[in-house]
């Protein structure tokens, strides 16, 4: 399945992804997701379609540890977040809830480009520009967590944190 | 074999094998896990799914982010947290008791401990040499169930602070200067270790301000050694018996070292948009301000408030300016009363709100109007942070905030202290 690229710049904070002023909606994720990234791009929540990609530059998801940030992006139907780099806690949260966060070269992706992700091959295809963007494999721990459907599912299955 | 950084020592002592080296992925025991009203409801659902029962003596729930509850939705979320803690016999720090990181530094974290919480500023307790780091609800739900978590041992960046902080220049100015060097991601995955003559001179109150904002450079944690000042601090909170001396080894290996000369430092201001968008006060002078916020887990410790009270003594805030003070904890609030600081603040025209995160989190306590400018002692000034994306936030020290409140424009505190 392919989707369109929504481009963002450097240093998109979790305050922009899901602002603290909507804290009262956190127990209603469907409503909370209607404000996803609205402070960065007002039209995002109303126009994003299932399968689309969030594409950013450096340090995506900086700031607070709110897990609602990757949750609302996933709830919008976003396939994956592609960024040159991620803030540590956002990255960990995204993988834990099963939203692929891919560190890769995003300079060859323009707004609206049609993208396709092949996670196991470590490849994003830019169908519009006919370019293949390769990315290095995730750490072993992250691969294990993602392949089990997130950390909760992993611990439910194994009863413990053992990555060997 | 080289010696250990503080991060390696503290993590190593929480692993089965007893020692670790930067870069390893390890499973660690945790001394305390905590959550709050902003993440707790999600985490409680996850704990139910995991059939996890947190340990009674090592799990803390805080109701601090949206207090007192401004809406029925937040009141319901807080009731969920309160009921869960009560049914399971867990430690509850309820409305008005204070911000999680402040209360943890007062009553729970001790040198050598390892803590994880659902808040990015969980690194604050590094100021008393406890390893703290923030994670999301899933990770903390699992840490609450298992009393352990996994992490990659961070490389360390040594921040060597030489000289001595001049009059009118404080720990907040030092961390803002550090952030201007590192940028918003210059320490991602790493540990900041503050040391040097200026740190030797700094009380734990100021050290907590440094470690609090390490996450604004992307750091996993930040640490300061445990010395006699740490002992003095613990004594003030009747916990002297929890003190022990901890230093990094002389031959520890650092990824890099940054040297800052405190003696040359001027008051620093973070301009709107990013805590690392920092300039010296001379470049910010005369920016008109509509609201001054003195609060948050970054500052508002008793040392800060004594300085603020000294500036406000027999003075009033500027006409038309909102001055909002939010004590960081109940214990601090009582001290403000006992020392007469509260009266000075109220005489100066402050609106004092109950202890909690206040407007720093943008859910309660002084949300600005469109196009207003806030000068805040807090840690973040991202777009929308204070509850209105059309407002702008400058960050600086409590002394700069107090001087600014008096004149109504960003003002050098050295004119007042």
Name, in order, each residue with C-beta under 8 angstroms of B346's C-beta and a sequence gap of 6 or more. Answer: B352
Instruction: Give the alpha-carbon dihedral of B192, B198, B199, B204, to 10 degrees.
Output: -130
Distance of residue B304 Cα from the nearest chain A Cα, in angstroms: 24
Q: Which of B66, B141, B362 sits opposite A19 (nearest CB)?
A: B362
- Please report, for chain A, the start and end positions of each structural domain, with discontinuous segments joined by +: 2-136
The yes-or-no verdict on residue B144 having pLDDT over 70 is yes
Cα–Cα distance, B414 to B417 (Å, whole number):
5
CB contact under 8 A, A67 and B41: no
Inter-chain touch A92–B139, beta carbons under 8 Å: yes
- Which of B26, B221, B382 is the best mutation test for A, with the most CBs of A within 10 A? B382
- CB proximity A158 to B under 8 Å: no
| Residues 6+ positions from A153 with CB-CB distance below 8 Å | none
Contact residues, chain B, for A162 at CB < 8 Å: 27
Lookup: tokens for B229? 């000042």
Same fold, B6-261 and B267-415: yes
Whole-complex ipTM: 0.94
Average pLDDT over residues B24-29: 95
Contact between chains at B136 and A96 (C-beta distance less than 8 A)? yes
How many CB contacts within 8 angstroms connect chain A with chain B?
A: 150
CB atoms within 10 A of CB B257: 12
Reported as a single tens digit per residue, the pLDDT across A24-65 is 999 999 999 999 999 999 999 999 999 999 999 999 999 999
Tens of pLDDT, residue by residue over B87-121, are 999 999 999 999 999 999 999 999 999 999 999 99
Please provide the size of chain B in residues: 417
Q: Is the pLDDT of residue A164 over 60?
A: no
Q: What is the mean predicted confidence (pLDDT) over B128-134?
A: 98
The two structure tokens encoding residue B183: 């940028």
Token pair listed for A76: 């919008």
Q: How many Cβ atoms are within 10 Å of B415's Cβ, its own excluded?
A: 11
Q: Which fold does the domain A2-136 belong to in CATH?
A: Aconitase; domain 4 (3.20.19)
Closest-approach residue (CA) in chain A for B118 = A65
**What is the reported pTM?**
0.96
- Superfamily of domain covering B6-261: Aconitase, domain 3 (3.30.499.10)
Both tokens of B213, joined, read 């904002």
**B141/A152 CB distance under 8 A:** yes
B24 pLDDT tier (thresholds 50, 70, 90): very high
Token couple for A64 = 């607070």
Average pLDDT, chain A: 94
Beta bridge partners of A102: A82
- A152–B46 C-beta distance less than 8 A: yes
The b-or-e profile of B396-413 (16+ CB within 10 A means b, else e) is bbbbbbbbbbbbbbbbbb
CATH architecture classification, B267-415: 2-Layer Sandwich (3.30)
- Angle at Cα A72 formed by Cα A70 and Cα A73, nearest 5°? 65
| Chain A residues with beta carbon closer than 8 angstroms to that of B369 | none
């Amino acid at each position: 399945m392919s989707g369109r690229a929504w481009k963002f710049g450097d240093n998109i904070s979790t305050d922009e992804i899901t602002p603290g002023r909507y804290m009262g909606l956190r127990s209603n994720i469907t409503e909370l997701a209607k404000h996803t990234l609205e402070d960065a791009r007002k039209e995002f929540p109303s126009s994003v379609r299932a399968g689309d990609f969030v594409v950013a530059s450096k340090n995506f998801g900086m700031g607070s540890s709110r897990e609602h940030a990757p949750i609302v992006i996933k709830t919008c139907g976003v396939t994956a977040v592609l960024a040159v780099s991620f803030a540590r806690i956002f990255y960990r949260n995204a993988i834990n809830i099963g939203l692929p966060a891919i560190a890769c070269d995003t300079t060859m992706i323009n707004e609206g480009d049609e993208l396709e992700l092949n996670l196991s091959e470590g490849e994003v295809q830019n169908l519009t520009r006919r370019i293949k963007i390769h990315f290095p494999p995730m750490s072993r721990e992250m691969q294990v967590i993602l392949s089990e459907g997130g950390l909760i599912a992993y611990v439910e299955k194994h009863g413990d944190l053992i990555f060997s | 074999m080289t010696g250990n950084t503080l991060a390696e020592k503290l993590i190593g002592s929480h692993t089965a094998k007893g020692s670790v080296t930067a870069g390893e992925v390890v499973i660690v025991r945790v001394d305390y896990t905590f959550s709050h009203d902003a993440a707790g409801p999600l985490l409680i659902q996850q704990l139910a799914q995991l059939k996890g029962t947190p340990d009674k003596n090592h799990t803390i729930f805080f109701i601090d982010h949206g207090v007192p509850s401004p809406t029925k939705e937040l009141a319901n979320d807080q009731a969920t947290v309160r009921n869960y803690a009560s049914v399971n016999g867990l430690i509850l720090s309820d409305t008005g008791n204070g911000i999680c990181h402040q209360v943890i530094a007062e009553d729970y974290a001790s040198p050598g401990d390892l803590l994880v919480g659902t808040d990015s500023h969980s690194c604050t307790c590094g100021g008393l040499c406890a390893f703290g780091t923030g994670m999301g609800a899933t990770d903390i739900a699992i840490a609450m169930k298992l009393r352990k978590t996994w992490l990659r041992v961070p490389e360390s960046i040594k921040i060597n602070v030489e000289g001595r902080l001049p009059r009118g220049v404080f720990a907040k100015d030092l961390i803002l200067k550090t952030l201007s060097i590192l940028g918003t991601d210059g320490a991602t995955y790493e540990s900041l270790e503050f040391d040097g003559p200026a740190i030797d001179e700094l009380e734990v109150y100021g050290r907590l301000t440094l470690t609090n904002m390490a996450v604004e450079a992307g750091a996993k944690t930040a640490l300061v050694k445990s010395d006699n000042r740490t002992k003095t601090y613990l004594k003030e909170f009747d916990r002297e018996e929890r003190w022990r001396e901890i230093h990094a080894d002389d031959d520890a290996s650092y990824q890099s070292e940054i040297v800052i000369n405190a003696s040359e430092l001027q008051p620093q201001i973070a301009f709107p948009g990013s805590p690392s968008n920092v300039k010296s006060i001379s470049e910010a002078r005369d920016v008109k301000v509509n609201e001054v916020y003195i609060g948050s887990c970054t500052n508002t410790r008793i040392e800060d408030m004594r300085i603020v009270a000294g500036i406000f003594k027999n003075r009033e805030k500027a006409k038309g300016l909102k001055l909002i003070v939010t004590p960081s904890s109940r214990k601090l609030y009582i001290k403000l009363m006992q020392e007469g600081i509260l009266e000075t603040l109220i005489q100066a025209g402050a609106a004092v709100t109950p202890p909690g995160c206040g407007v720093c989190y943008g859910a309660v306590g002084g949300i600005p109007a469109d196009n207003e400018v806030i000068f805040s002692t807090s840690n973040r000034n991202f777009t929308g942070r204070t509850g209105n994306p059309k407002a702008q936030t400058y960050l600086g020290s409590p002394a700069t905030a107090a001087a600014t409140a008096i004149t109504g424009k960003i003002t050098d505190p050295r004119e007042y202290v």
